[in-house]
Structure 1
Amino acid sequence: MLNLKKFLPFILILGLLPALLNAQATQPSREELEHRKKELQKEIDEANEALKVTKKSTRESLGQLRALRDKITLRTRLINNINEEINFINGDINSAYRDIKTLEKDLDTLKSQYAQLVVYAYKNRSTYDMLNFIFSSQSFNDAIKRYQYLKQYRDYRRRQADNILETQVLLNKKIENLRDQKDKRAGTLKTEQEQRNILETDKKEKDQVLTQLKGREQELIADINKNKKDAQKVQIAIQVVIRREIEAARKQAEEEAAAKRKALEEKKRREDAARKAAAAAAAAAKANAVNDAVADKPEKVERPAPEAPSKPAPAPPAEVEKPARVENVLEATPEALALSESFETNRGKLPWPVTSGNIIGHFGKQQHAVMERITVENDGIIIGTSKGAAVRAIFQGEVRKVVIIPGGGALVIIRHGQYFTNYVRLQTVNVKTGDKVNTGQVIGTAGTNELENQGEVELQIYKGIAKQNPESWIRRK
């Protein structure tokens, strides 16, 4: 009977092997950790700049709270990155320890072997003994072999001495490397502790700002209600424009289909008339031929009764051209279809509408930053940027509407086939309805949030009348 207890450790190892291999495969390399560390430090610097800007306002704001939370999140990720780097260093140190132990053991073995060689050489140090060993050979070939043996023995002893020196040098390098790794670990641990101290300071500042903001709930609720009303106005304007575009495209498609049907009917009518005329001409020609034959031979040919004109064979029904199947009425034209396909091809690669900025309001329902019982819903993403920053079109298309929202800035709607990009909260606008725009073309400037002392622009993307999450369309930073 098979003893399962005996093989249980092997079974467990085999079961855990895929997970261990997968974990090893997903573990970032030293270069990736270094790159990630630089990127995180860059993002922390940007968050610090954003915090400096928002602190210029006279009161605490949601912008300060956002910037502090971003800093805390980024710094936590940086600390985790540093800890992974420390793990790498610890691995190098452990490896160095193992190498040093192995080299020390090899060195002791080489020294012991060399000592035995030295003792043997000392005992046989007399030249007479060496010559006696060679000349006591039974034959000349045996003497040659004994001479070669002595030579190889000397060479081996010399190589052993060289190996001892080389191993000693390598051991010293390993010890020096170990010392460097320990110094590096000490420096990294110091950096990690400094980051933890800064993190604690940021958390205290965040809690302080949050406490002060909670004391202004009524003011924040009023601001939420205002933003909600502005968003409703924007949505009404967008829905009106998109539905008008759909209706216009449908009407145009119907008119084109009616014109095509009329042209087909006219073509069929002309073909039927032509066939009837041809049949009548053929019948007349046949009757004339019979009359001519009777006139030439009247004594032999009886004049037949006039034949009723034969009915022409029914013509096969003309093929009615079916209009090409259109998935969406907004893609009824080849240009619109090509623009839609190109827009979809660039999903996740579209540029940001501003040169520099960060997302301060994500798409969809979000919990309010201060009041946990309240949620806010964004129809797009809100991007914080510098005051008066240039806002650019993220894709080529046609401006379908420019709307001024009282108290909410300007709105620019650009169509890209069946897709629409909407730029909300603009302070100034450089385009008008009907303008063709290219990717990256400046269409206006960002609005200003005086409370948070920064510029803002909201980007919305629609597929027909369906909202899209812009974060899945624009490229990641």
Structure 2
Amino acid sequence: MLYLKKLIPFMLFIWLAPAVLHAQSNQNQQPTREELERRKRELQKEIDEANEALKETKRSTRESMGQLRALRNKIMLRSRLINNINEEINFINGDINGAYRDVKTLQKDLDTLKAQYAQLVVYAYKNRSTYDMINFVFSAQNFNDAIRRYAYLKQYREYRHRQASNIVETQELLNRKIESLQSQKEKRADALKSEQDERQTLEKDRKEQDEVFNKLKGREKELVEDINKRKKDAQNVQAAIRAVIRREIEEERRKAEAEEVARKKAVEEKRKRDEAARKAAAAAAAAAAAANNNNNNVATTPPPVKETPKAPEPERPAPAPSRSANVLEATPEALALSESFENNRGKLPWPVSNGNVIGHFGRQHHAVVEKIDVENDGIIIATSKGAAVKTIFEGEVRRVMVIPGSGYVVMIRHGQYFTNYVRLQTVSVKTGDKVRTGQMIGTASTNDIENQGEVELQIYKGVVKQNPEIWIMRR
């Protein structure tokens, strides 16, 4: 029995050890690491695009606002990339600390297993005689006790084999953890070097930005003149667009009034026809009654003509609440187009295949001349010279205009919404054309100073300006 008392603790330990080792070997990687890697790739792609945009603007003979915008965009993206790398380093540090803890735990478990196995080996050596084993079995008081002792001896042998296997598995797991730890250290070293390189590049970009800014600052008078000219051009564009929209509203209102007058006239004519028919029917009935009385020589008063009572109309359910009446949505087609446009808020495509916003909607401070505010009626998108400009939603072309300083302007109606494509160099549609989403309507104009293509996208709801950036897809 002393033999069994020594054996039981070893068996309990070895039965629990595999579960502990399995739990340690199945630690899941945090998904945020993958998210960081994805963000890093996206930021690097955007930085590459910003570099290409900067190269295009540098082909100009003078410093321009495009260079300054491209440099600021690069600095912003590179700063975000550095922050992303720092977050990745923090995760790597966490993995390294966890790996250190795992290595220590596994080393401790391995030492314990080796010590326990050594005791087993010593005990087996001391009791290696076959006679002792047989004597242990045959010294049982009865047959059942002998069977149990034989089973204990068998389990003991299996336990020794498992103990040896667990030592080997633990050693292999420890080696893998050590390799993983070394790999994490190498990753951290690479990330730290990458972060340092990015900081050096960021410092160079900031110096270049300061140089461009100072040179542009020296041309402040020229910039103010350009700002005032663009502001005047934008006012002309807005006045023309609002005039067209008001004309559309007035035409729809007149059409609706004419339809209402025609409807009332038709109702009145129908009422008169019904009244005349009723009187004719009454006269015919009276004449028929009089003729019938004469034939029968009976002097009686003709019976009055009775109108057949109308069946009461069934009660109709109250109409569901609807959107406020709008003359631009007077037809079912116009209403459906408006609702479809609204349902695609934030999902509309860009008017160009490649480009970035260089002028945001609304009022902003000028990048160089701080005392002047710039207000945009839409968003200005920089793209390649002569790039194809496409519609962002299906609709009907209502106007194609030429405005000095702003090139061609194409206005497309979508129910009560209007999309305006300003600063086009050429157009390929005309007033009245039905267009589909993504259809090419012209090409972007060229800004010679910036050495790039430009197009402005405006969205109106009636005569109210909208921010196009909340309508189109994010990039």
Whether these two folds match at TM > 0.5 is yes
Are residues 28 and 251 of structure 1, via their aligned partners in 2, closer, same or farther at CA, if it must alter by over 3 Å? farther
**Aligned equivalents of 2:324, 2:373: Cα separation in 1:** 40
1:99 corresponds to: 102
The whole-number CA distance in structure 2 between the counterparts of 1:292 and 1:49 is 107
1:345 matched residue in structure 2:
343
Secondary structure of the corresponding residue to residue 373 of structure 1: coil
Match of 1:276 in 2: 279
Quote the offset at 1:312 in angstroms: 7.7
Provide the rounded CA distance (Å) in 1 between the counterparts of 2:33 and 2:254: 61
Q: Which runs of 5+ in 1 are unaligned?
A: 1-26, 296-302
Shift in Å at residue 185 of structure 1? 1.0
Question: Relative to structure 2, which stretch is displaced further, 456-465 or 159-168?
Answer: 159-168
Structure 1 length-normalised TM: 0.86
Whole-Å separation in 2 of the counterparts to 1:386 and 1:137: 96
How do 1:216-227 residues align onto structure 2 when only pairs under 5 Å count? 216-227=219-230
Question: Which one of the candidate residues 223, 246, 253 is aligned to 2:249?
Answer: 246
- In structure 2, distance between residues paired with 1:362 and 1:28: 35
Residues 245-394 of structure 1 mapped to structure 2, 5 A cutoff:
245-294=248-297, 327-394=325-392
Deviations 1:358-413 (A, max 9, x none): 00000011111112222100000000001111111212222211111123211111
Cα separation, 1, equivalents of 2:110 and 2:31: 36
In 2, Cα distance between equivalents of 1:280 and 1:266: 21
Specify the SS of the correspondent of 2:409.
Answer: strand
Q: How many Å separate the matches in 2 of 1:352 and 1:121?
A: 80
Alpha carbons 1:393, 1:438 under 8 Å: kept: yes
What SS does the aligned partner of 2:426 have?
strand
Distance 1:139 1:452, change over 3 A: same
Distance 1:214 1:315, change over 3 A: farther
Cα offset, 1:310, TM superposition: 6.0
Alignment of 1:389-408 (within 5 A): 389-408=387-406
What SS does the aligned partner of 1:294 have? coil
Deviations 1:426-463 (A, max 9, x none): 11122222222222221111111111110100010111
| SS of match in other structure, 2:460 | strand
Q: Distance in 1 between matches of 2:441 and 2:131?
A: 104
User: What letter corresponds to residue 93 of structure 2 in structure 1?
Assistant: N
Listed one character per residue, the Cα deviations across residues 195-244 of structure 1 (whole Å, up to 9, x for unaligned) are 11111111111112111111111111101000001001101111111111
Aligned to 1:475, the other structure's residue is in SS state: coil
Matched, 1:113 2:111: no
The whole-number CA distance in structure 2 between the counterparts of 1:103 and 1:403 is: 77
Match of 2:456 among 455, 458, 476: 458
Q: Is 1:75 aligned with 2:78?
A: yes
TM-score (norm 2): 0.87
In structure 2, do the counterparts of structure 1 residues 440 and 139 end up closer, same or farther at CA, with 3 Å as the change threshold?
A: closer
1:127 paired to 2:130: yes
Q: Does 1:206 align with 2:204?
A: no
1:439 partner SS? coil
Within 1, Cα distance between the matches of 2:142 and 2:284? 132
Whole-angstrom CA distance in 2 between matches of 1:209 and 1:461: 33
Alignment check: 8 A CA contact 1:412 1:423 kept:
yes
Partners of 2:34 and 2:100 lie apart in 1 by: 23
- Letter of the aligned partner of 1:252 in structure 2? K
2:32 corresponds in structure 1 to 29
Other-structure match for 1:471: 469
CA distance in 1, matches of 2:99, 2:376: 55
Q: Are the counterparts in 2 of residues 210 and 370 from structure 1 also a CA contact under 8 Å?
A: yes
Shift of the 315–379 alpha-carbon distance from structure 1 to 2, 3 Å rule, reads farther
C-alpha distance after superposition, 1:295-330 (max 9, x if no partner): 6xxxxxxx57x78x96987999xx9xxxx9972111
Query: Which residue identity lines up with residue 56 of structure 2 in the other structure?
Result: V
3-state DSSP class of the match of 2:233? helix
- Asked if structure 2 preserves the Cα contact closer than 8 Å seen for 1:379 and 1:460, the reply is yes
Residues 83-125 of structure 1: CA deviation (Å, up to 9, x unaligned) = 2211221221122112111111111211121122122222223
Contact between 2:394 and 2:414, CA under 8 Å: does it hold in 1? yes
